[in-house]
Amino acid sequence: MTGRAFDRPSYALAAELESMLGDPATGSGPFSFAEIVEHEENGSLPPGAVGLLRSWGFSRYLVPEAFGGGLRNLEQLFLLTRVLARRNLTVSVMFGSALLGVNPVWLWGDETQRSRVAEGMLGGDLACFAVSEPDHGSDLGTNETVAVPDGDGYVLTGEKWPVGNATRGRFLTVYANVPGVGSSLLLLDKSRLDESTWDNHPFVRTVGLRGHDLSGITFRGTHVPDGALLGRPGGGLPGILQVLQITRTAIGALSVGTMDSVLRIALRHARERVLYSREIYHIPVIRRHLVQAHLDLLIAECTAVPVTRSLSVAPSRLSLWSSVVKYLVPTIGEEVVAEAARVLGARSYLREGVASGVFQKLQRDHAIASIFEGTTHVNLHSIASQLPAVARVADRPAREGNTILRALFDWSEEAPLWQPSGRALRLTNASEDEITRGWEPAVARARLIAERELPTAEAVALTKVLDELSTRRKAFYTLIATGELDAATAEAQDVAVEHCLHHAAASCLYTWLYSFEEERTAPVGTAWVILALQRLLSRLQPGADLDESLLPRLEELMLACLDGPEHFSLQAVKAACRLA
């Protein structure tokens, strides 16, 4: 990344990390594909990988500026995590698990708790979120771990498993039932506990993320000192649901980073592999796999980045928007991985060869993205339960919609500084969904731009896809608003999936309107959004096609990014527009 497109400190910081880690395909060191794969075979992390990140200062960006760290907002962390994830998801998840473990402290901790945890994290300590239990999984209403009040502290008994960083982590946010009060969140510091009263479990052997500390912990009458309670007594379950909104959104970076790598590996292979006297890239079906994967990556970015910004702009919307990101972006990521595997053919199955055999690791590691922090079904249920309220006002623009949409989708400005507060998050969005409700005014504006600024062919293509999406969208939300939707049914899951696609279409349109105001007349400046909208329409209406006349513009950009400094991203699109 070069910073030419979005000249902001967060992008410059991500570019600095990118440069420090080097090219994973051709370089050496702990973040090269060759070394990552070598140690993957032994279920371990490359020596020096974590130390290199800590020396660079990655841990600073898990601690908000308000508490002495470097984290300005969630978008900043998303950009950094994307850089890391395109190399090694295992290390990315280690830091992600630490973020999940400390976010309750940033949201509800007192000054003493925040100060102690911030100091430890900045010094290189890790944290974990000890919530799951062996017999209960995602059933958070059942909590057998008990914290009995004892003087000024508690006596803790129970088992938490599986937990990321449970063994390596110093700090634990533990979900425990307090008699007479209800389930609550407690902050534990292992350095202050009697080691004879608790045990860590062995690491769990997993399909992917080999070398990650996925283990557990058992408490046997462990005395927890005074000052452990996080937030209000009995507020454990709502607290979990709120803190997950942040990490569900951040998980999008794992998927986008993976998409960048697998697309790069497959595209490079398609340009180097010669069959039937020509590069296999020129085989129509291979070309289709790669172009669709590139479009899907841009759609995922359009969907995820604005929601990261919403933590600072409109956090009460995260109850809905975070679940949209958590369902849609990993799902798209899985499809991009599958498209890349089809291009690689038999080589996708090998643990050596193309890109040092890293593809199979990326494929296995990414499978976790749709599972943890709430499975696909859990997130679709959350979306479906909120949809009737959203649908009833879907055709009414929100009162401050334009202001919020510009803050979310104009990426030329830094997202506002995050001021952590648990009070800002909500368990339901209560129909406050500017992304759904802003569609019709945005379409009207886009039609005017098409009429006044765009070449005839592009204007016709943009207007046509917007009309088709609008017709389907209106029927969809009208049906939900006038009927009944039981969020527990399979039908509701399908409805939630369609809402996610409408959310993504709106996100692409807003990004074009707010972040591409100066680039719309450049050759690729409108082609990308038309193709992205057509791609989403094809997911809603099988048989809808991409405009072949526009594809060469996006292909040229995709190929230019293959060996250049840019990610496959909207940043690269803007940079190309400015050079045109």
What integer is the mean pLDDT of 530-549? 95
- 219 and 266 both lie in a single domain: no
Report the number of distinct structural domains present in the chain: 3
Backbone angles phi, psi at 163, to 5 degrees: -140, 125
- 295 and 389 both lie in a single domain: yes
Helix (H, G, I), strand (E, B) or coil at 435: helix
- Using the predicted structure, report yes or no on whether residue 3 has a pLDDT greater than 60: no
What is the model's pLDDT at position 27?
77
Q: Determine, yes or no, domain membership for 159.
A: yes
Pairing mode, strands 171-178 and 127-130: parallel
Portion of the chain with pLDDT greater than 90, in percent:
91
Q: Determine, yes or no, domain membership for 2.
A: no
What is the model's pLDDT at position 5?
53
Model-level pTM?
0.97
Q: Determine, yes or no, domain membership for 502.
A: yes
What integer is the mean pLDDT of 441-462? 97
182: left (phi over 0), alpha (psi -120 to 50) or beta: left
Q: Determine, yes or no, domain membership for 36.
A: no
What is the model's pLDDT at position 7?
75
Q: Determine, yes or no, domain membership for 409.
A: no
Structure tokens at 387: 């949809």
- 230 and 105 both lie in a single domain: no
What integer is the mean pLDDT of 478-493? 94
Angle at 144 between CA 139 and CA 146, to 5 degrees: 135
What integer is the mean pLDDT of 505-509? 98
Name the one residue in this structure whose structure tokens are 């329409």: 537
- 296 and 321 both lie in a single domain: yes
What is the model's pLDDT at position 399?
84
Give the whole-angstrom CA distance, residue 108 versus residue 114. Answer: 9
Q: Comparing 562 with 467, which gets the higher pLDDT?
A: 467
What is the model's pLDDT at position 6?
66
What is the model's pLDDT at position 512?
98
CATH at residue 291: 1.20.140.10
- 200 and 74 both lie in a single domain: no
- Using the predicted structure, report yes or no on whether residue 251 has a pLDDT greater than 70: yes
- 215 and 84 both lie in a single domain: no
Q: Determine, yes or no, domain membership for 301.
A: yes
The residue from 177, 211, 241 where one domain ends is 241
What integer is the mean pLDDT of 503-510? 98
Burial 473-508, CB ≥16 within 10 A → b, else e: beebbeebbeeebebeeeebbebbbbbbbbbbbbbb
Residue 189's domain comprises 129-241
Give the whole-angstrom CA distance, residue 578 versus residue 451. Answer: 23
What integer is the mean pLDDT of 476-490? 94
- 86 and 164 both lie in a single domain: no
The residue from 194, 218, 241 where one domain ends is 241
Q: Determine, yes or no, domain membership for 119.
A: yes
- In DSSP notation, 90-142 reads HHHHHHHHHHHHHHHHHHH--HHHHHHHHHHHHTT--EEEE---TTTTT-TT-
What integer is the mean pLDDT of 263-286? 95
- 137 and 270 both lie in a single domain: no
What is the model's pLDDT at position 580?
64
What is the model's pLDDT at position 2?
38
- 307 and 386 both lie in a single domain: yes
Q: Determine, yes or no, domain membership for 176.
A: yes
The residue from 185, 207, 241 where one domain ends is 241
What integer is the mean pLDDT of 342-370? 96
- 301 and 446 both lie in a single domain: yes
What integer is the mean pLDDT of 548-569? 90
Angle at 10 between CA 4 and CA 16, to 5 degrees: 75
Q: How far apart are the first and last CA of the chain?
A: 18
CATH at residue 185: 2.40.110.10
What is the model's pLDDT at position 1?
38
Residues 392-419: pLDDT tens digits? 999 998 888 899 999 999 999 999 999 9
Residues 6-40: pLDDT tens digits? 678 999 999 999 999 999 998 789 999 999 999 99
Residues 35-80: pLDDT tens digits? 999 999 899 999 999 999 999 999 999 999 999 999 999 999 999 9
- 218 and 85 both lie in a single domain: no
Is the bond preceding 306 in cis, omega lying within 30 degrees of 0? no
CATH at residue 84: 1.10.540.10
Give the whole-angstrom CA distance, residue 367 versus residue 224. Answer: 36
Give the whole-angstrom CA distance, residue 14 versus residue 84. Answer: 9
- Using the predicted structure, report yes or no on whether residue 153 has a pLDDT greater than 60: yes
Name the one residue in this structure whose structure tokens are 């048989």: 543
Which residues fall within 8 angstroms of residue 534, CB to CB, at 6 or more apart?
461, 465, 544, 545, 546, 547
- Using the predicted structure, report yes or no on whether residue 287 has a pLDDT greater than 90: yes
- 228 and 258 both lie in a single domain: no
What integer is the mean pLDDT of 521-539? 96
